[in-house]
Structure 1
């Protein structure tokens, strides 16, 4: 994607992303207030009795997609980090409704002032607003995201409103006195020293019983792990982007806008970012060729979507039975195919579609067989219900290797844990008799590894390898008295026993140097935490109603924004 966004995706935009990402954790279809009834006719849903229509939903969707792009440097797909379309959109609509309820209004002048402050729109030499860069930016979001100038301006106005919402509702959490911040800093940066004995499961693999009887028992005891979940098969018509490349080529060659967009994108990127498949630097000509091909592929996919929508509109006028898709495909001289079986959690084999496709597909039935088209990486699919395959359990002979590995892993860890607990008890008794932890370890046949002056700021302890981690050691050290030995503590690959030799405060010069920034961060975190708590309670009490529907909350609702129509 475009480097001028990637270079600045931190952007200093405390108002871009502060709400869009963080409150997803509070939203789920099972949240209190997430009802399915009482929605006004003609609406997609409602919030506090106010109808949310198609235009409301699409405006919020455009803004959520743009916010994701500004954070991640790429447009969201089903496999994107932290992206769930329906969650993002409904959550955004809810927060905007709260801002409206509290009387938060943002004028065009304030939004415009925020736009000209954006770092990636400033001239690198003068630091002033660069109008040409702004126009280039608008060209990029139009071509890649289908977003107009008015969409971006509305996005900025609403982001400022949401920032004000955070400031207003989180005000109480920002009241952190300097003395309290200092106490928190000292607690967070206390330094610990001692010794640790590590019990790695890998050291006990040779002791695991891997006889057929043991493997059979392990399979029987954990049969649920080898269960195949319910699967779905859909029938579909595929509109491949490659079918429209010639048309895309013609449209590309007859428009000067595309060439200008490519020029703008290339100018904004560092030369070092242009590399071939082997990672070697590209020539300007090769970079332009690659970017041109990317534009053409996106345009071809947009044309494929247009044809898919035409097909879908005809399908929706037919009798709502699964066979209607096959009949329409035959009538138009197209091929209706069947998908490979897929479950609700793994990608549909061979289709390369967003993960939201699975949720929409599993909402289908023989009585309600149609869904909205889904846009994949290489094609657009119009699909319908075909059949469900009940869950089943795989027989042992088909999963023998998998069961064997599971037994080896779980039993070796159990052996490591048993050895660790026995050592912890013996070491505590030995130290009580006057021996050192190192002596007790050596008598038991283990090596005590020194760990000196580790704190929350410590990134790693190389002498320990990957396990235990610093955070695992800290959790034990913070609750352990000096001179004491911990019990055995489990970790991912076995566990450890810690002897704590000393606890020391952070150095005074470090405290004075870092406290101002720590105080600022503590206040920001406090404000944000207070806002999160307010938002959680408000959402639980709000009357948020969005009935389940196939496709309406899926990635396909974003179809109008991925290119030219």
Structure 2
């Protein structure tokens, strides 16, 4: 393989092509393909027909996906965001899909040859110099990331084989004339819907709440009513500045600090030379030295008084005063601790009566002692009956609104007389905006699938806070004379969706026949 790659050293300018690998992937390329030696470490994320997907491989795929999402959103992913986006689940499922596809590719006789791998690697900007593949850069970058060319190229081969197989399956997709006609009619027909709506606010007066309802709701929703953990602390702060007058920084120390923190000394033309920022570097190094001295002093005081948890003795040895806070919570800290997240985090970690520190913040070095700690708890129902009653009434009103919509829809299906409103005539809108109802892509799709033979929708639709039962009142069909002229355009628009459906159905069938075992630890959270 390396012999094949060497020919690109003298090749002409290679046009940069981003196929599947978009620019944002380049930063994580080695997480995906740099899997290292494929030895079995004994742990696994999943087994697919006996083939193990290692936990390490899953972790790398997870961090790659997480990194891409962070680039897209321009921020770090919180645990809540990760859960909402399903990053961990997607990372594992994509590896399971790939394992199934690789096995099926062999059965279908699909392969990737060495020249194709070489050409794909040569396209990657990470291995190019002045727009041309550079063999030395390729080998050096792999070496820097502790990846062997063999492992990298094997992984490339797998990735390309997966892609090629997916494309082969997509080629099976067809768009029938019936599909095209339905699409034409959906785009050009006009419909008028009859509907009836039920909102929780409208039916709330019919709701009855019992004590049993309250107890059941509280049992199932304890986190909603749990009071947060409360604590109060005693603390003292040592200001590092008081050590500055006793300390000195040599020119050599200042230069060492400058070199370790060189990015701090930026000017308009780039990094400023040491000579120009010598005094600033000295001041910065002195500040660091003072902070380190203060930190060590506090650590020593805490250790000497840890057994008896005597914060007063510890503070006295440092020459600082002990202050106290009233009870506070993590989300509503004491006024004196506003902005001191690290101090609060440390206090929450400590037990009642325990001494802790040092904690470094912009205000100084803290030592702390937890005076009182009240655990998070769910109050008795009698104390929070009003709040629980409100929640139960809201939930039951939502359920009743949906139930009434289902009952109304059953009457519409039977043709029974129901007082209805009308949307008026409208055309299909990809945005899902239905006149007089609101925005619902699902309702829009279902509405244009209704016919005079089956005019009522199969289920009610929730739009905003209301539930809607809908029925086709009238359909104005478009003139199909222009259908033939628009067939090719419609086909091009429908084909990608059909291709994805074909691929999804194929993968679904593979999974249904496969023996897949997922490590419970992966899905535990």
TMscore range, shorter length:
0.3 to 0.5
- Relative contact order, CA 8 A, sep 6+: which one is greater? 1
TM normalised by structure 2 equals 0.47
TM normalised by structure 1 equals 0.44
